[in-house]
């Protein structure tokens, strides 16, 4: 298996996606359906010769069982076969990095970044567990994050295989720092083992630190089975309500954990609600981790009497004392609220999108409208705008009761030119791009000079959308 085969079964092999202890994953192409696929070819040295046929038969049964896990957050299983004596299975190809690549090492996402990811994982596990399938190897490298921040769980099927005839200890049993105690002991496992691993992933997403550290399999095992788990203390990144969820999920005895994935998801939602109710919705430690200043003191608007270079920056004036400028958009509390609301819809990418959109926005409203265009479907887009505006209004009332949010956070928006605002044009261009691709920008720019209103602009552009159903959807802004 050192050379890349040209074909595996009926599938063309295009490139190597990754290599691991179990074998090689290729990107391939299915000529029958004309679609990209991922092909996992299992290493022959993991199989002892006298047990090979029995293993292959059980392998087939497990892949068939995994194929029943039809869920938006589970990588779909398409096919199974044998290539030169080595078993392989064919999966949905997802063009997305694994979580351990998408989230930089040592970076914690805090409650609002971690919760949407874990809720999707728990929803996928709930379905699999209802079918009697235990994953056994939940870890960041088995969780893909798509561009829309959707979670895709990999390796259902192979991770469920019995390890009795494998030559490498722990190769399928699990990854040490995410393994449950019963896995280490070789005891029978059930769905609660996956919840332990999910708790370990949640801890790492919240804090950026592993829940069970160790430099080797043996060191992790000793710490887990004999020394016990020492979780990170409660802080802004992992407030006490979230920490309590992690503690229960990672209880050493299965009977002390959540009984099922749905129960853990319910507890996690309640914990997030409690964090917000306590006023921990704007953890300053999280803001410092995520944001960089938009402008340095030297780049800020000059004061009437410049302070000496060695003097400390003067305190910020009260929010209502002067009109807001684009620099006030860099307020960490305001940006923190916006990013955390956005992260609930698209995940950890929210921070980068906020920083990128901030370069173009001239008001908080413009910033929020721009970010909302990154969210699909439209119902979630509207939910984001409604929630973030409610949060900003609450922040405005706390800072300066009776002062409108518009005055507190942003300058008055520019008057529309020709009946169209920049936000109108951007939204329509986004919608048209779904059907026409990058060429939409040229058409919108050309038609906007003649359109008298957003509806008029949509009507003028709708002629370019050939499919009647898509044309109707574009006209309605869906």
Cα–Cα distance, 139 to 137 (Å, whole number): 6
CA distances in angstroms from 42 to 3, 47, 55, 84, 144, listed in the order given: 14, 9, 12, 11, 20
CA distances in angstroms from 397 to 153, 392, 405, 429, listed in the order given: 42, 9, 8, 35
3-state secondary structure 323-368: CCCHHHHHCHHHHHHHHHHHHHHHHHHHHHHHHHHHCCCCCHHHHH
With residue 273 as reference, give the H or E element that holds it.
Answer: helix 261-277
3-state secondary structure of 147: coil
- Decide if 77 contacts 63 (C-beta within 8 A): yes
Cα–Cα distance, 322 to 319 (Å, whole number): 7
Cα–Cα distance, 124 to 348 (Å, whole number): 19
Cα–Cα distance, 287 to 395 (Å, whole number): 15
| From 137, 194, 281, 424, the catalytic residue | 137
365 is catalytic: no
Cα–Cα distance, 318 to 271 (Å, whole number): 34
Count CA atoms within 13 Å of residue 151 on its CB side. 29
CA distances in angstroms from 418 to 405, 415, 424, 425, 459, listed in the order given: 27, 9, 12, 11, 16
Among candidate residues 440, 444, 398, the one with its CA nearest the CA of residue 424 = 444
10 Å CB burial of residue 462 (0-12, 13-18, 19+) is middle
Q: Which residues are catalytic?
A: 137
């Amino acid at each position: 298996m050192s050379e890349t085969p040209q074909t595996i079964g009926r599938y063309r092999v295009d490139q190597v996606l990754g290599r691991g202890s179990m074998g090689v994953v290729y990107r391939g192409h299915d000529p029958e359906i004309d679609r990209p696929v991922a092909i996992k070819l299992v290493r022959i040295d993991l199989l002892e010769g006298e047990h090979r046929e029995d293993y292959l038969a059980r392998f087939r049964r497990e892949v068939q069982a995994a194929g029943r896990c039809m869920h938006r957050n589970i990588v779909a299983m398409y096919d199974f076969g044998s290539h030169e004596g080595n078993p392989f299975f064919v999966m949905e190809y997802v063009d997305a990095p694994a979580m351990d690549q998408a989230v930089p090492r040592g970076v914690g996402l805090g409650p609002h970044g971690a919760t949407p990811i874990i809720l999707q994982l728990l929803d996928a596990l709930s379905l699999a567990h209802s079918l009697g399938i235990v994953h056994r190897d939940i870890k960041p490298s088995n969780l893909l994050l798509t561009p829309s921040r959707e979670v895709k769980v990999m390796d259902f099927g192979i991770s469920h295989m019995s390890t009795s005839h494998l030559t490498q200890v722990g190769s399928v049993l699990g990854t040490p720092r995410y393994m449950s105690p019963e896995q280490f002991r070789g005891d029978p496992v059930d769905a609660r083992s996956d919840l332990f691993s999910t708790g370990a992933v949640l801890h790492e997403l919240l804090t950026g630190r592993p829940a069970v550290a160790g430099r080797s399999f043996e060191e992790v095992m000793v710490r887990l089975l004999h020394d016990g788990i020492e979780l990170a203390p409660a802080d802004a990144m992992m407030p006490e309500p979230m920490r309590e969820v992690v503690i229960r999920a990672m209880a050493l005895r299965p009977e002390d954990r959540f009984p099922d994935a749905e129960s853990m998801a319910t507890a996690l939602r309640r914990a997030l609600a409690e964090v917000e109710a306590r006023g921990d919705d704007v953890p300053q430690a999280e803001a410092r981790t995520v944001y960089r200043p938009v402008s340095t003191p030297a780049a800020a608007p000059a004061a009437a009497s410049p302070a000496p270079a060695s003097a400390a920056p003067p305190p910020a004036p009260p929010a209502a004392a002067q009109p807001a400028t684009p620099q006030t958009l860099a307020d960490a509390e305001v940006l923190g609220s916006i990013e955390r609301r956005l992260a609930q819809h698209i995940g950890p990418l929210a921070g980068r999108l906020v920083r990128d959109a901030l370069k173009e926005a001239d008001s908080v409203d413009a910033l929020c409208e721009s970010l909302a265009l990154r969210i699909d479907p439209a119902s979630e887009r509207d939910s984001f705008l409604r929630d973030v505006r409610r949060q900003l209004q609450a922040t405005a009332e706390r800072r300066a009761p009776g002062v409108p949010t518009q005055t507190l956070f942003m300058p008055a928006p520019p008057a529309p030119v020709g009946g169209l605002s920049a936000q109108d044009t951007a939204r329509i261009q986004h919608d048209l791009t779904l059907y026409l691709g990058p060429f939409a920008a040229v058409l919108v720019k050309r038609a906007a000079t003649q359109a008298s209103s957003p509806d008029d602009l949509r009507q003028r552009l709708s002629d370019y959308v050939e499919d009647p159903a898509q044309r109707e959807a574009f006209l309605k802004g869906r």
